[in-house]
């Protein structure tokens, strides 16, 4: 199903949780000189405008990025970088955050299935990543294990269909069998039905979890945001604690 558009949620509390943790994790993984591979199964368009009608409609950015004073940190650097190129209301999607942190030795692959989002992503990340117009689950499996072997996969679907929770768990298990060196970061919404619990149980792999609550006026039943890390590297707990410190005014 491709009706989901991330522009409505850009810069909201869930984005802050995921994006600050992503920036911290990529900083951790790129500490050593050896290159890494960074892959996204569900990339979106890579760049958003917080002054857009979509963002204004939900008001999520007002409950998120607008509420915090960013300290000096990798996420703040990514925000500064897109704002210097695209203006003060620009907000980086996960691909642009990664692009701000990747080095010459690193490789980035982005999967996006929606034709318009793919087109925008190709323009926004031109020259920074290999951008693939294909199903993220199939595409990532096809290119794994990549070179460099050390790396991070972000799985960030919209969960519009219930079956996606178990699909994510099954995909992660298969991916880890094919690419055991990978670290996988899974984002999930926390909703009343709590389907994420079935997903985490179905992973059947050791993982680290960080779940944050927040208030949203029009939340469509979402009360929080979760991140699960499979094959979490040493230092991952600090990634989550720094994320919470930076976004303390928004995430509980
Ligand atoms: C939550 S958004 C991604 C947001 C992005 N990761 C970020 O944080 O900036 C999910 C995206 O996945 C895309 N999508 C949906 N199903 C897909 C699939 N099977 N494969 C690849 N992309 C898909 C949607 O078009 C949407 O752009």
Which ligand 1 atom sits closest to the C-alpha of 40? 6
Q: What are phi and psi of 218, to 5 degrees?
A: -110, 85
**Six-digit token pair at 163?**
């079956």
pTM over 0.85: yes
Token pair of 116, please? Answer: 């318009």
From the CA of 4, how far away is ligand 1's center (Å)?
Answer: 8
Considering the four listed CATH numbers 3.40.50.80, 3.30.420.40, 3.40.50.10280, 3.40.50.150, the one that applies to the domain covering 6-246 is 3.40.50.150
Per-residue pLDDT tens, the chain, 252 aa: give them.
678 888 899 999 999 999 999 999 999 999 999 999 999 999 999 999 999 999 988 889 999 999 999 999 999 999 999 999 999 999 999 999 999 999 999 999 999 999 999 999 999 999 999 999 999 999 999 999 999 999 999 999 999 999 999 999 999 999 999 999 999 999 999 999 999 999 999 999 999 999 999 988 766 788 999 999 999 999 999 999 999 999 999 999
Catalytic annotation, residues: 156
For residue 68, the SS3 value is coil
Q: Distance (Å, rounded) from C-alpha 195 to C-alpha 79?
A: 32
Report the alpha-carbon distance of residue 46 to residue 120 in Å, rounded: 8
114 token code pair? 């929606």
Within 6 A (CB) of ligand 1 lie 2, 4, 6, 18, 40, 42-44, 93-94, 111-114, 117, 135-136, 156-158
Any idea where the domains of the chain sit in the sequence?
A: 6-246
- Give the β-pairing of 107-111 and 182-191: unpaired
Q: Distance (Å, rounded) from C-alpha 242 to C-alpha 22?
A: 11
In this structure, are strands 151-155 and 37-40 parallel, antiparallel, or unpaired? parallel
DSSP states of 100-116: HH--TT-EEEEE--SHH
């Amino acid at each position: 199903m491709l009706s989901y558009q991330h522009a409505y949620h850009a810069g909201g509390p869930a984005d802050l949780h995921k994006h600050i943790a992503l920036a911290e994790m990529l900083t951790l993984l790129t500490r050593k000189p050896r290159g890494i591979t960074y892959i996204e199964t569900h990339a979106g368009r890579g760049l958003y405008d917080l002054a857009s009608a979509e963002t204004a409609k939900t008001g999520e950015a007002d409950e998120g990025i607008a509420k915090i004073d960013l300290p000096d940190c990798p996420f703040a650097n990514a925000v500064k970088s897109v704002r210097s190129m695209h203006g003060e209301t620009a907000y980086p999607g996960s691909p642009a955050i990664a692009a701000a942190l990747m080095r010459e030795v690193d490789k980035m692959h982005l999967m996006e299935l929606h034709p318009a989002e793919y087109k925008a992503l190709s323009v926004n990340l031109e020259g920074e990543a290999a951008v693939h117009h294909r199903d993220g689950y199939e595409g990532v499996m096809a290119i794994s294990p990549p070179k460099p072997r050390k790396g991070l996969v972000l799985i960030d679907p919209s969960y519009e269909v219930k079956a996606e929770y178990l699909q994510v768990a099954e995909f992660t298990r298969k991916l880890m069998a094919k690419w055991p060196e990978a670290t996988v970061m899974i984002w999930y919404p926390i909703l009343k039905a709590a389907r994420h619990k079935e997903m985490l149980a179905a992973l059947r792999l050791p993982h680290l979890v960080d779940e944050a609550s927040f208030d949203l006026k029009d939340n469509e039943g979402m009360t929080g945001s979760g991140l699960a890390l499979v094959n979490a590297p040493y230092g991952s707990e600090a990634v989550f604690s720094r994320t919470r410190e930076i976004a303390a005014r928004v995430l509980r």
